[in-house]
Amino acid sequence: MKRSFSVGRASTGALCLALLVPLSAACSDDTSDTTTTKPDSGGGGTTGGGGTTGGGTTGGTTAGADGGTTLSLYQRLGGKTGLEMFVKTVVETKVLTDADLKTFFFNQVASPIPAGHPSALQIEVCFGRFVGAALMADTYPGAAVNDPANTNTPNHTCRSMIDAHKGPGTMLNIGSANFDKFVGAIAASLMPLVKPTATKAGEITQAEFDALAAALNGQKMDVTTTGAPSSGPFVPTLYDRLGGKAGLEAFVKGVVDNHIVSDANLKTFFFNQVATPIPAGHPSLKQIEVCFGRFVGAALQADTYPGAAVADATNTNTPSFTCRSMVDSHKNATVVGSQLHIGSGTFDKFIGYIAMDLQPLIKPTATKAGQITQGEFDALAAALNGQKADVTTPGASATLGPFPN
Shortest distance, CB of residue 272 to ligand HEM, whole angstroms? 43
Closest residue by Cα to residue 349 from 405, 393, 400:
400
Which helix (H) or strand (E) element contains residue 62?
A: strand 61-63
Question: Considering only residues 10, 17, 133, 183, which one is a binding residue for ligand HEM as defined by CB under 6 A?
Answer: 183
Instruction: Enumerate residues 155-174 that contact ligand HEM by CB under 6 A.
Output: 158-159, 164-165, 170, 172, 174
Write the burial class of residue 67 (CB in 10 Å: 0-12 exposed, 13-18 middle, 19+ buried): exposed
Q: What minimum distance in Å lies between the beta carbon of 196 and ligand HEM?
A: 27
Burial state string for 2-21 with b = 16 or more CB within 10 A and e = fewer than 16: ebbbbebbbbbbbebbbebb
Of 88 and 259, the one with the shorter C-beta distance to ligand HEM is 88
Question: Closer to ligand HEM at the Cβ: 182 or 353?
Answer: 182
CB of 59 to ligand HEM, least distance (A): 20
Encoded one letter per residue, x for contact with ligand HEM by CB under 6 A and - for no contact, window 345-374 reads ------------------------------
Nearest of 146, 158, 150 to residue 111 by alpha carbon? 150
**Residue 194 forms beta bridges with which residues?**
204
**What are the φ/ψ torsions at residue 21 (nearest 5 degrees)?**
-125, 50
A 10 A CB-CB count for 276 gives 5
String of DSSP letters for 97-162: TSTTGGGGGHHHHSSSPPTT---HHHHHHHHHHHHHHHTTSS-SS-SPEE-TTSTT-SEEPPPPHH
Site for ligand HEM in 218-237 (CB under 6 A): 219, 223
Whether 357 contacts 254, CB under 8 Å: yes
Residue 209 in contact with residue 191, Cβ under 8 Å? yes
Q: Which is nearer to ligand HEM, 102 or 253 (CB)?
A: 102
- First-to-last CA distance in the chain? 93
Q: Does 182 bind ligand HEM (CB under 6 A)?
A: yes
Q: Which of residues 62-121 bind ligand HEM (CB under 6 A)?
A: 101, 104-105, 107, 117-118
* Piece in contact with ligand HEM (CB under 6 A), picked from 125-133, 253-261, 276-284, 304-312: 125-133
Nearer to ligand HEM, 23 or 256 (CB): 23
> Could you tell me the smallest distance in angstroms from the CB atom of residue 152 to ligand HEM?
12
> Cα–Cα distance between 163 and 50 in angstroms, integer?
30
Binding residues for ligand HEM, total number by CB under 6 A? 24
Stretch that binds ligand HEM, among 179-187, 201-209, 311-319, 393-401 (CB under 6 A): 179-187
Q: Give the nearer residue to ligand HEM in terms of CB position, either 120 or 380.
A: 120
User: For binding to ligand HEM (CB under 6 A), which residues are involved?
Assistant: 101, 104-105, 107, 117-118, 123, 126-127, 130, 158-159, 164-165, 170, 172, 174, 178-179, 182-183, 216, 219, 223
